[in-house]
A and B are shown apart, each in its own frame.
Chain A
Amino acid sequence: MPRVWGPLLITQMRRLGVDSIPISLFLAVFTGIVLALLASNIFTGAVPLYFVGALVAKTIMMELGPVLTGMALAGRVGANIAAELGTMKVTEQIDALETLAIDVHAYLVVPRVVAATLMFPVVTAMAVAVGVVSGWITATSLLDLSTPEFFKGVRQFYHFKDVWFGLLKSASFGCAIAIMGSLTGLRTQGGAEGVGRATTRAVVLGCEAILVLDAFWALILL
């Protein structure tokens, strides 16, 4: 089976992963800014301000980085897969593959699912890094907080588990989004309207899967 999907994997990793980096980093920048400002607003007077660093890093690594990136990519990647496969379905290209004795799942679904599972953690890791840097720049430029204080907060509550927990979640999100997109795409019926319905459904199911998986991993690993 790898003979079928192997050569397609790199293409899908670029399309689903690399091409998703800009939107993910855009989200991360503003998430970092808002988190830093929100933390300083909450902590005013009650908690030392260097806790801003802890909150920004911890929250982005464990929750907002994976989940917000996942939600954005549920729209971008899930919709992309469903629309592409849905269009292939209604134009009989899927039937054509089958008549050529090509395994549709090995040829179309597996490379997308593997690519999303491998690339979501990479994109999320970049988003986390950018989000923390964004929070740091916000804290040092808009709040009364120095760089050493910010990173004192980051270090004080950091555990390696924060990193792998977030990346593991994002891998599961990628897998779920690609499966939802593929299945809804392959079940498309009814022309352009059907493709629209499948695309919407893929995004909704992808977002729901993210929320369920997020709760699942929290219950299992925290």
Chain B
Amino acid sequence: MIRFSSVEKRFGSKTVLDGFSLDIPDGRTTVLLGYSGSGKSVMLKHIVGLLDPDEGTVEVDDQIVHELDRDALATLRGTIGYVFQFAALFDSMTVAENIRLALENRRLDEDAIVARVDESLQLVDLSDAGDRYPAELSGGMKKRVGIARAIALRPRYILYDEPTTGLDPVTAAIMDELMVRTKRELGVTGVVVTHDMRSAFTVGDRIAMLYQGRVRQVGSVEEIKATDDPVVRQFIEGRATLT
């Protein structure tokens, strides 16, 4: 389980998270909605210790992330896959090498690494792309490779940062289907950060709305769809004004 407790995070004079609290239960996909620049990615980075909170705590499996030493943090990171907004593939490596890199530190033998790479590529329907470089891939393919790299470690959690942003509707739907399939086949807990409502309703079991640095509302897809909170309604209906 991932638990945010009264997390505050500031960058200079700008407060991004301001008393942010949220429980992310195991085995389900929690979607965090929010405006661009509202701190959704900042929230994700706290889970893997890329950022430390100024106040409050982030716990993963009852461990306070920012208090972990280097080895413990590395062990924790081994249980979490992170899919970056722009994939963040290593551009000097082929697709297969990108996935291998994640595995080479894991004391797996060569056969196991090759099998895991093939299996991960197969799961994202890119079995024939192993020898290609990131520059030769489309945006959607890069994101799928990002997922393959994240799941190669067989994580307990997968964090998706804006997985459908910048994709055409069909490719975005393929990404949604892939996230659902990943959860179903690997049984991972998902955290998806997005402002794409269609994607949120497709992949989410629970949906939370981040507004002004804290959670405005959290609930099931049905609860969010039926909300009477004007801020949440405005966001899910994509209206320019509150009323």
Contact = CB atoms under 8 A, between A and B. Distances in A.
A156 interface: no
Contacts, number: 49
Contacts of A103: 70, 74
Interface in B70-107: 70, 74-75, 77-78, 80-82, 84-86, 88-91, 101-102, 105
Nearest to A84: B92
A101 B105 contact: yes
Given A98-B50, A101-B105, A91 B75 contact: no
A194 to B, nearest CB: 15
Interface string A4-46: 1000000000000000000000000000000000000000000
A92 B49 CA distance: 14
Interface residues of B, number: 24
B48 A98 contact: yes
A96 interface: yes
A142 interface: no
A88 B134 CA distance: 14
A93 B88 contact: yes
B153 interface: yes
Interface of chain B: mostly helix, strand, loop or mixed: loop
A122 to B, nearest CB: 24
A95 B41 CA distance: 12
A175 to B, nearest CB: 24
Nearest to A96: B88
A100 B84 contact: no
Contact of A96 (B49, B84, B105, B153): B84
Given A98-B50, A99-B48, A93 B90 contact: yes
Contacts of B84: 92, 95-96
A102 interface: yes
Nearest to A95: B50
Interface core residue of B49, B88, B149 (most chain A CB under 10 Å): B88
Contacts of A96: 82, 84, 88-90, 149
Interface in B35-50: 45, 48-50
A129 B85 CA distance: 52
The residue in B49, B80, B85, B105 that gathers the most chain A C-beta atoms within 10 A of its C-beta is: B105
Contacts of B74: 101, 103
A91 B86 contact: yes
B68 to A, nearest CB: 12
Most buried by B among A4, A92, A98: A92
Given A98-B48, A99-B50, A101-B78, A92 B101 contact: no
A99 B75 contact: no
Contact of B77 (A91, A92, A100): A100
Contacts of B75: 101
Nearest to B74: A101
Given A91-B88, A92-B84, A93-B90, A100 B153 contact: yes
A95 B149 CA distance: 14
Contacts of B89: 93, 96
A4 B74 CA distance: 14
A99 B86 contact: no
B193 to A, nearest CB: 14
A95 B88 contact: yes
Interface string A98-138: 11111100000000000000000000000000000000000
Contacts of B105: 4, 100-102
Interface in B151-209: 153
B178 to A, nearest CB: 19
A88 B105 CA distance: 20
A137 B163 CA distance: 65
Contacts of A92: 84-86, 88
Given A95-B84, A96-B89, 4 more contacts: A4-B105, A93-B91, A102-B101, A103-B74
16 contacts: A4-B105, A88-B90, A91-B88, A91-B91, A92-B85, A92-B86, A93-B89, A96-B89, A96-B90, A98-B50, A100-B77, A100-B102, A100-B153, A101-B74, A101-B78, A101-B105
Interface of B: 45, 48-50, 70, 74-75, 77-78, 80-82, 84-86, 88-91, 101-102, 105, 149, 153
